[in-house]
Amino acid sequence: MSEERKGKSPVLAALFILLGTGVVFYFLPRVMIALGGVSPWLAGLVGTLLVLCFFLLFWLRARYQRNHDN
């Protein structure tokens, strides 16, 4: 893989991840309010899971990069 391609790949991946999570977090309050009408516990669980998925995504990406850089 060329040096130029190696430099762009992580940047593009981070851009897509941040844009995707930005859209999810933009709608998160509305989703939590709607779910809160059903169950406050369900709203809290969904909000917590979405925030944890954000960090899990970056952890998995870092782990993938560590395994493929060797």
| pLDDT tens for each residue of 21-40 | 899 999 999 999 999 999 99
68 against 60, higher pLDDT = 60
> Contact at 8 Å (CB) between 61 and 13?
yes
Q: What mean pLDDT is predicted for residues 5-12?
A: 76
Longest dimension (CA), the chain: 53
pLDDT beyond 60 at 5: no
pLDDT beyond 60 at 41: yes
Q: Which DSSP string corresponds to 36-61?
A: HHH-HHHHHHHHHHHHHHHHHHHHHH
Question: What mean pLDDT, rounded, does the chain reach?
Answer: 86
Least Cα distance to 21 among 59, 53, 62, 43 occurs for: 53
